[in-house]
Amino acid sequence: MIRAELIRAWPSRCETTVVELANDASVADALLACGWSLGQELIGLAVFGVAATQSTPLHDGDRVELLRGLQVDPKQARRLRAQRSGKSPSP
């Protein structure tokens, strides 16, 4: 048996759960075990911050992260911060 932690987060809260799975378990098995799924808001997966798919195999102690979509393009966010601070963004 292996243990995996699943976590999903929003701006003001987060949820985490630990599941026990068979040794050959995948991310999909972990999602099924805890009753979570991807949807409109949670659109991606990662294991310890590395992009994953539902078929990614899990190892004992892995942390599966359910990821939300970006609200603002990171480059655009940087430009907006630079404008607010009065600095010109570097290319």
Q: What is the pLDDT of residues 18-34, one digit of tens each?
A: 999 999 999 999 999 99
Task: Name the residue among 34, 29, 1, 41 with its Cα closest to residue 17.
Answer: 34
How far, in Å, CA of 45 to CA of 35, rounded? 15
Whether 17 and 41 have beta carbons less than 8 Å apart is answered as no
What is the pLDDT confidence band of residue 89, given thresholds at 50, 70 and 90? low
Helix (H, G, I), strand (E, B) or coil at 33: helix
Give the residue ranges of DSSP H helices in the chain: 27-34, 74-85
DSSP 72: S
pLDDT at position 81, please? 86
